[in-house]
A and B are shown apart, each in its own frame.
Chain A
């Protein structure tokens, strides 16, 4: 027997119809593509449709406006746009908040960038003493909700302009002008402090990678220090710096809680607080305009970032683990540098958290006498207040809100984690390429949309019944769905990176053995990806627990969670109780972050970058 294969006959290629039938048969036996399609529909509904709907609201007459505008509800109108951009009121309604928003975002971003870069260099490239623990300590603000600092500021610097208890400084007898107590100045200070860790993480990481290349390049080319800095350091750092800047900027544009807590007394408005007020006063058309603008700014900056990230990745591929070789000796600058870093740690962590913690055990602010200290706000009973009559640890409202937080955010995180792993699976395994690409992009999209805009979009879509879907407003379900959608970027990225690292063969070998798709998922993929799944759940959990934007718009008293509860306490001027709740949230977020670091061993920087 000897088959020679010199030019065996070649049959006609199979006709298109047959080829298509073959394809379909394969697709039918392989549910990955089908599952991908279902996921795409789900995310389309959760992510794309709300955003489209808000754009629609911008151009159609909303309920209650029909008489004023002249037309039927649902008619096309440019009323909202012209009212925002070109009416007599637009200065107050729109342009002032826009200018405020951009000022806060740009100034706090620049300040954070400068201070953060200096700190990164000190931590990574110099022999700063205590840099080991400082590197962790200076990151702490990143793990806390931004408005923790806003509350701390009020606790310290509130003046007599609004009622309630004065801040410590006033209580000690100093008069404070409004601009120190409220408005743009404290907002900028707090956002700067909150963003510095961002810069330390991103720029510090880039600096660390740079090390080996710097030394190699220097040795190879014999380049002078100046040339080196100009030709290598600068271009290599640019993507990280740009990226940190854009991320901060986009985040600042959507930031709601800090200007809300600090701006209200002096009518300091940003786009986010205006949006909140528009929703609070049932002006859904104007709310849509604000959402649209925030969204636009977010999309523009973050597509810039994605583009920069691609650049950065090109560098990252070359970069190895960077040997931590030579460090610059600080010499006489050692002490000033240490004072700077340690001072920042005090200002950004010790003082605000300490003030908050102290404020919860003091009856009157700023009076440090023994008789003034009390644990009543934590565990007291029958306090002489109107509403919250017990200390928060003994109050039903607190535990109800805590339970709601854990229940809603927990469920959402579990869903997000599972969907994230599933997204990773489909993105890496889909036989249909466009499906993978579409899924990857749509799950990333909420990252481009500030939470407050997203919540408004959700409200606009799900407040009324649509076909078979009933109105969801006021139910935990709307919060759940919004949280899941909002957290998909983290969850899907965790899922994608985990699935990319798992070879196909592990699943294929189970398939060969006769395991069905479902069986393969349950017995092979999920157990192997346990760790990644936990990360994909904890990450959304932390960010959900400390988040405000979604809840402030979508929660009603029945679905009170810790964040809305504490904001309500602020509104009632129950400062101590509000601070106590915030401390509890901070505690949960902090512990959660540390747990992730333990489990994954990667640290936050990777989570931000990948």
Chain B
């Protein structure tokens, strides 16, 4: 059962430039659906290509179930064609001179599967990915979504134990993307493969993945489950990158931040206070820890609303964004009381590391006390 261990994985394309992938260590559990998430150019594709063997390592080791595939120190390199890992390219990389059926059949031919069995397998894959009727077309005669499914079919046909997917949904329209997500989830359950999926769409990652690896500038920021990434971000970057609209960051020394923190029982010295827009409540009556603010604007975003506020503070006004599912009953310019849910708050040090998080009062007993991890 495939479990991928990456140790100190490093890739520098040139000695002068910063490493594209820098000292990455984590283990992809068997049968998991892991997302690599991060801004453009952070090294996601490079990691996948290194696991597949298409990119040489500058440093580090890759092993799958205890078998070393690639190691600089041990001088081991198993070429891509011998790794038995499936990779679906962001660009699909279908073979333009082969029909859909031939594309799917190619890997089976390499495996020397008898013709009759091959035919059956192709038919099965075509049905699974719902591309019936396209078997005799060439890639140039397919739509983007169809090409993508052919690319998946081609890779899944050879039943790799490990499936690497490089932003395979990024070129699809919203509706097709939803269907394909469901499809991927289903395939994951059905085939039981270990999937590593690259995306820079955090929502996609949150809905699909069992585990998420967040990267920035070649370095791993956090590797954890989706909910942990959201509820306990390892650092300021993760907190900021995950969540839409992005987390509010206030100077910890400000009057507003101090009064929120005090109400939540967070008293660690910190540099910044992060406050999720979903955790802000507005009201007309004063409550513990509440501060006053003026409504600046109200933006409907289809089913939810963004409310922009400014609070007066010693060092100048502080802007906050609230996100709410209920239609706001405020007018622009109106003064309101702002309070914050404890679990929506995180304290960060000046290096960006998370120091502490607020803990929901109602769940106090189910968690360890003042949530320092």
Taking beta carbons and an 8 Å cutoff, which residues of A are in contact with B? 1-6, 8, 10-11, 13-15, 18-19, 21-26, 29-30, 431, 503, 505-506, 508-516, 519, 523-524, 527-528, 530
- Shortest Cβ-Cβ A-B pairs, 4 listed: A21-B75, A505-B93, A513-B107, A29-B79
Residues on A with beta carbons closer than 8 Å to the beta carbon of B328? none
A197 CA to B73 CA, complexed, in Å: 61
A538 CA to B80 CA, complexed, in Å: 36
Q: Contacts A5-B219, A5-B223 known; A514 to B110 CB distance under 8 Å?
A: yes
The digit string for B61-105, where 1 denotes a CB below 8 A from any CB of A, is: 000000000011111111111111111010101111100000000
Q: Contacts A2-B373, A528-B95 known; A508 to B73 CB distance under 8 Å?
A: no
Is B54 interfacial (CB-CB < 8 Å)?
yes
Residues on A with beta carbons closer than 8 Å to the beta carbon of B195? none
Residues on B with beta carbons closer than 8 Å to the beta carbon of A514? 81-82, 84, 107, 110-111, 158
Q: What are 21 residue pairs bridging A and B, where the CB atoms are less than 8 Å apart in the complex?
A: A2-B224, A4-B234, A5-B219, A14-B59, A24-B75, A25-B77, A26-B77, A506-B94, A506-B95, A508-B54, A509-B94, A509-B95, A510-B95, A511-B54, A512-B87, A513-B81, A513-B106, A513-B155, A514-B107, A514-B111, A514-B158
Residues on A with beta carbons closer than 8 Å to the beta carbon of B87? 508-509, 512
Q: Contacts A2-B373, A14-B72, A19-B72 known; A524 to B84 CB distance under 8 Å?
A: no
Query: What is the size, in residues, of chain B's interface with A at 8 Å between Cβ atoms?
Result: 53
Nearest CB in chain B: distance from A321 CB, A: 23
**B234, A6: Cβ atoms under 8 Å?**
yes
Is B254 interfacial (CB-CB < 8 Å)?
no
Q: Which residues of B131-171 have CB atoms within 8 Å of chain A's CB atoms?
A: 154-155, 158
**A505, B91: Cβ atoms under 8 Å?**
yes
**B77, A6: Cβ atoms under 8 Å?**
no
**A3, B72: Cβ atoms under 8 Å?**
no
**A509, B93: Cβ atoms under 8 Å?**
yes
Q: Which residue, of B52, B106, B373, has the highest number of chain A Cβ atoms within 10 A?
A: B106
Q: Contacts A8-B25, A18-B75, A19-B72 known; A511 to B80 CB distance under 8 Å?
A: yes
Q: Contacts A4-B222, A18-B74 known; A13 to B59 CB distance under 8 Å?
A: yes
Is B206 interfacial (CB-CB < 8 Å)?
no
Residues on B with beta carbons closer than 8 Å to the beta carbon of A519? 110
**B225, A1: Cβ atoms under 8 Å?**
yes
**B95, A3: Cβ atoms under 8 Å?**
no
**A508, B353: Cβ atoms under 8 Å?**
no
A509 CA to B164 CA, complexed, in Å: 12
Tell me which of A22, A506, A512, A528 contacts B81 (CB under 8 A). A512
Residues on B with beta carbons closer than 8 Å to the beta carbon of A509? 87, 89, 93-95, 154
Tell me which of A11, A19, A506 contacts B93 (CB under 8 A). A506
Q: Contacts A513-B106, A514-B84 known; A22 to B97 CB distance under 8 Å?
A: no
Residues on B with beta carbons closer than 8 Å to the beta carbon of A3? 26, 222-224
**B54, A25: Cβ atoms under 8 Å?**
no
A524 CA to B81 CA, complexed, in Å: 15
The residue in chain A whose Cβ has the minimal distance to the Cβ of B234 is: A4
Is B181 interfacial (CB-CB < 8 Å)?
no
The digit string for B209-235, where 1 denotes a CB below 8 A from any CB of A, is: 000000000011111110010001011
Residues on B with beta carbons closer than 8 Å to the beta carbon of A512? 52, 54, 80-81, 83, 85-87, 155
